[in-house]
Amino acid sequence: MNRILLYIVIAVIALLPLLPITPAFWITHLNYVGLASLVVLGLVVLTGVSGLTSFGQAAFVGIGAYATAWLTTAMDWSPWLALIVALAITFAAAYILGALTLRLSGHYLPLGTIAWGLSLYYLFGNMAFLGQHDGIAGIQPLDIFGFSLAEGGRIYYLIWVCVLLGLWGTRNLLDSRPGRAIRALKSGQGMAESFGIDTARYKVIVFVYAALLACLSGWIYAHMQRAVSPSPFGLNYGIEYLFMAVVGGASSVWGAVVGAGLILTLKDQLQNVLPAIFGSSSNFELIVFGVLMVLVLQYARDGVWPILARWWQILTPGSTEVRRREAPPQAPALAQRPRPEAGTVVLEVESIRKEFGGLVAVNDISFRLRAGEIMGLIGPNGAGKSTTFNLITGVLKATSGRVRFLKDRLDVLPAREISRLGVGRTFQHVQLLPTMTVLENVALGAHLRRNVGVVSAALHTDRSIEAELLHEAAVQLERVGLADYMYEQAGNLALGQQRILEIARALASDPVLLLLDEPAAGLRYKEKQELAAVLDQLRQEGMSILLVEHDMDFVMNLTDHIVVMDFGTKIAEGRPEEIQTHPAVLEAYLGGIDDDLDIEPAPAAQPSSAQPVTTSGPAAAVAERG
Ligand code: ADP
Ligand code: MG
């Protein structure tokens, strides 16, 4: 949202209760909208951004409300002290529930949230000291330094200051190192873990974050209503909060306010209008909501907020952020890990094996890679190359065999730890966060090089570290030639450029060993030459590179050493010129055609090689078999 709109919203919020013409019920209504916005804001992060669906947020509102209700009435505590305790209880409950339920995948997670939403609801209704189904009444109103917030027009300011601070903190959080990790959760864990992101931990973090916002909402609610009972914390309210997030736009923080406002206003209006039409006082609004939900999912998947944002952009052309065109400012370079001396054995793969059921995808493969060397791993499609990559990087567990990287054994470590040791990779099937900028995608690669916690990210005190991370990302983008696309959404790049982006992201992790799975696929001839120059430069800097690639010119010109696989088995190994004339290789690629085909490495300037794929030799044969 741009600044002018933000100031308008803040001014309207600030002035409304002061205007004599504002009806009192508007203020009451806006109080409820604000309280719901806090809960929905948590759901935006949890469900919209991280892809974790929760039907149980109302239960956390209940924990906040009941904790303060009991502590301030039965124990006569100050509400502010009760807030701290309520947040602490919520933290503990969410942490435990999150650790238990977030492991569940697919539909089991929403089902799990329904289960604990119901349990907490019945717990509130059955505990004698919480007043069972009557709840707790006589809760004192809040006051701040003797200034009473008993009136709706006063607690209004507390609510909306909390909402605006929540929006600000959440925006800050999402736009930071932990925020990028959180935004990577939705993409499946493979890629994120390969850059050292502890996905299980971040899932618990967003779950606790959302629960704390819900608790805060419940705390204010209890002191505004002056009484609590179990019904507003039941499952149907949990569903309603989720509904608000979906309608508002679950991937934008402002969607929370829009969704809460729309749904509560609509509900209010429907409760007036529908009984008049149908002549009874049943809850017809639920039916209307159901229909509305179907329409939203059908016609506005991303909710209402993106549509409003687009209208605003059309109304105020040129207001889109111009300052974003420049590279991020200079910042101190990140520390680099020591490089092994040229010639040291960096990677040693010993009889590594992977079976998928009866299929032996990788059949006792061994090879070594030294510092400052580029090794090619080639073979027809399905030969087991990508599987070998996944065994080295910990994405798959080997059936048997060992992988040694400098002093460590990789085959016993998870992907996250392997990344920490200095192994960077790209994926055959590009794994980017398409709605994040190119720069942010690359910065994700530098995740392990600096540490920023959730709290300092939300409070915006991480800016100097953030600047270092973004600067590093910009440097790597410059290096691979994508500097002009820094603020483009990654999903808008051509596929070849997305592969190059993945290389920049891997480089941002400061690797000692780089594994590239078909980096040149989809590149034009000139782009391939530029890529080869970058890889050659990296080799001179002492990087070790393992490369899977189908373009034979590219492989033969660039690599020092080649391993050839076919049907999971290593069939040849040697220098490029040895491989080109190796009978087993010709057999594998050309199916036994006994013809000494010319697969000489073509000099770069030779016009005949100015084709993306050679029309004769192994590459053509591979293309046929693939
Ligand atoms: P390459 O990268 O050389 O083209 P892969 O390593 O992707 O080959 O695949 C090797 C073989 O293993 C193929 O036959 C493929 O179908 C099989 N394979 C790969 N991944 C899996 C998996 N997760 N489950 C079952 N089979 C797999
Ligand atoms: Mg592959």
Per the DSSP assignment, residues forming a β-bridge with 545 are 374, 514
Q: How many other C-beta atoms can be found within 10 angstroms of the C-beta atom of residue 341?
A: 10
Q: Check pLDDT > 70 for residue 622.
A: no
- 353: CA distance to ligand 1 center in Å? 13
Q: Which atom of ligand 1 is nearest to the CA of 565?
A: 3
Q: Where are the domains of the chain?
A: 3-318, 345-422+511-599+614-625
Could you say which DSSP state residue 101 is in?
A: H
Cβ of 396 below 6 Å from ligand 1: no
Q: Which 3 state secondary structure label does DSSP give 57?
A: helix
Q: Strand 374-378 vs strand 561-566: parallel, antiparallel, or unpaired?
A: parallel
Q: Order of strands, edge to edge, in the sheet holding 345-356?
A: 359-370, 345-356, 400-405, 408-409
What lies within 8 Å, CB to CB, of 403 at 6+ separation is 347, 348, 349, 350, 352, 391, 392, 409, 410, 411
Could you say which DSSP state residue 106 is in?
A: T
For residue 479 the two structure tokens come to 């290096």
Higher pLDDT, 412 or 325: 412
Cβ of 380 below 6 Å from ligand 1: no
For position 363, what pLDDT does the model report? 95
Could you say which DSSP state residue 582 is in?
A: -
Q: Which atom of ligand 1 is nearest to the CA of 383?
A: 3
pLDDT digits (tens, 9 = 90+) for 272-289: 888 778 777 667 777 888
For position 117, what pLDDT does the model report? 92
Q: Which atom of ligand 1 is nearest to the CA of 548?
A: 2
User: How many Å apart are CA 514 and CA 492, to the nearest integer?
Assistant: 25
Cβ of 386 below 6 Å from ligand 1: yes
Cβ of 376 below 6 Å from ligand 1: no
Q: Tell me whether the CATH fold assigned to 3-318 matches the one assigned to 345-422+511-599+614-625.
A: no
Q: Which 3 state secondary structure label does DSSP give 387?
A: helix
Could you say which DSSP state residue 603 is in?
A: P
In this prediction, residue 319 has a pLDDT band, given cuts at 50, 70 and 90, of low
User: How many Å apart are CA 427 and CA 518, to the nearest integer?
Assistant: 8
Looking at domain 345-422+511-599+614-625, its CATH class is: alpha beta
Q: Strand 359-370 vs strand 227-228: parallel, antiparallel, or unpaired?
A: unpaired
Cβ of 379 below 6 Å from ligand 1: yes
Please give the C-alpha separations between residue 382 and each of 361, 567, 582, 592, 626, in angstroms, as whole numbers. 8, 7, 20, 18, 8
Q: What is the average pLDDT score of the chain?
A: 89
Cβ of 449 below 6 Å from ligand 1: no
Selection from 565, 562, 566, 564 nearest residue 574 by Cα: 562
Write the CATH number of the domain with boundaries 3-318: 1.10.3470
For the chain, what is the radius of gyration of the CA atoms? 29
In this prediction, residue 625 has a pLDDT band, given cuts at 50, 70 and 90, of very low
Q: Which 3 state secondary structure label does DSSP give 545?
A: strand
Q: Which 3 state secondary structure label does DSSP give 216?
A: helix
What lies within 8 Å, CB to CB, of 35 at 6+ separation is 159, 217, 220, 221, 224
In this prediction, residue 43 has a pLDDT band, given cuts at 50, 70 and 90, of very high
Of the candidate ranges 230-244, 247-261, 285-299, 500-514, the one whose mean pLDDT is the lowest:
285-299
Q: Check pLDDT > 90 for residue 294.
A: no
Cβ of 382 below 6 Å from ligand 1: yes
Q: Check pLDDT > 70 for residue 619.
A: no
Cβ of 87 below 6 Å from ligand 1: no
User: How many Å apart are CA 226 and CA 140, to the nearest integer?
Assistant: 6
What lies within 8 Å, CB to CB, of 270 at 6+ separation is 284, 285, 288
Atom 17, ligand 1: residue with shortest CA distance: 361
Cβ of 385 below 6 Å from ligand 1: yes
pLDDT, mean of residues 567-594: 84
In this prediction, residue 315 has a pLDDT band, given cuts at 50, 70 and 90, of confident
Judged by its nearest atom, the ligand closest to the C-alpha of residue 379 is 1
- 357: CA distance to ligand 2 center in Å? 19
In this prediction, residue 590 has a pLDDT band, given cuts at 50, 70 and 90, of low
Question: Please, what is the Cα angle at 67 between 61 and 68, to 5 degrees?
Answer: 95
User: Ligand 1, from 354, 356, 392, 570: best to mutate by most atoms within 8 Å of Cβ?
Assistant: 356
For position 321, what pLDDT does the model report? 52
pLDDT, mean of residues 163-182: 96
Q: Check pLDDT > 70 for residue 618.
A: no
Let me know: does 61 contact 217? Beta carbons within 8 Å. Answer: yes
User: Ligand 1, from 387, 397, 425, 547: best to mutate by most atoms within 8 Å of Cβ?
Assistant: 387
Judged by its nearest atom, the ligand closest to the C-alpha of residue 518 is 2
- 574: CA distance to ligand 2 center in Å? 21
pLDDT, mean of residues 221-244: 94
For position 84, what pLDDT does the model report? 98
Question: Please, what is the Cα angle at 529 between 526 and 535, to 5 degrees?
Answer: 145
Burial class (CB in 10 A: 0-12, 13-18, 19+), 122: exposed
Judged by its nearest atom, the ligand closest to the C-alpha of residue 428 is 2
Cβ of 391 below 6 Å from ligand 1: no
- 90: CA distance to ligand 2 center in Å? 46
For position 492, what pLDDT does the model report? 95
pLDDT digits (tens, 9 = 90+) for 105-138: 778 889 999 999 999 999 999 999 999 989 999 9
User: How many Å apart are CA 187 and CA 277, to the nearest integer?
Assistant: 46
- 505: CA distance to ligand 1 center in Å? 25
Higher pLDDT, 618 or 581: 581
For position 35, what pLDDT does the model report? 98
For position 173, what pLDDT does the model report? 97
User: How many Å apart are CA 63 and CA 124, to the nearest integer?
Assistant: 9
Cβ of 387 below 6 Å from ligand 1: yes
For position 318, what pLDDT does the model report? 61
Q: Check pLDDT > 50 for residue 153.
A: yes
Q: Which 3 state secondary structure label does DSSP give 194?
A: helix
pLDDT, mean of residues 163-192: 93
Cβ of 271 below 6 Å from ligand 1: no
- 297: CA distance to ligand 1 center in Å? 36
For position 613, what pLDDT does the model report? 36
pLDDT, mean of residues 23-46: 96
Could you say which DSSP state residue 485 is in?
A: G
Of the candidate ranges 449-463, 567-581, 598-612, the one whose mean pLDDT is the lowest:
598-612
Q: Check pLDDT > 70 for residue 4.
A: yes
What lies within 8 Å, CB to CB, of 234 at 6+ separation is 58, 117, 121
Cβ of 397 below 6 Å from ligand 1: no
Q: Check pLDDT > 90 for residue 372.
A: yes
Name residue 54's amino acid: S
Rounded percentage of the chain residues whose pLDDT exceeds 90: 72
Which of the given ranges, 76-90, 281-295, 304-318, has the highest pLDDT on average? 76-90
pLDDT digits (tens, 9 = 90+) for 558-579: 999 999 999 999 999 999 999 9
- 340: CA distance to ligand 2 center in Å? 29
pLDDT digits (tens, 9 = 90+) for 295-304: 888 888 888 8
pLDDT, mean of residues 189-215: 94
User: How many Å apart are CA 498 and CA 490, to the nearest integer?
Assistant: 7
User: How many Å apart are CA 327 and CA 443, to the nearest integer?
Assistant: 13
Atom 24, ligand 1: residue with shortest CA distance: 356
Buried b vs exposed e over 267-293: b needs ≥16 C-beta within 10 Å?
beebeeebeeeeeeeeebbeeebeebe
Q: Check pLDDT > 70 for residue 451.
A: yes
For position 611, what pLDDT does the model report? 37
Of the candidate ranges 141-145, 209-213, 368-372, the one whose mean pLDDT is the lowest:
141-145
Q: Which atom of ligand 1 is nearest to the CA of 396?
A: 23
Cβ of 306 below 6 Å from ligand 1: no
User: How many Å apart are CA 626 and CA 49, to the nearest integer?
Assistant: 37
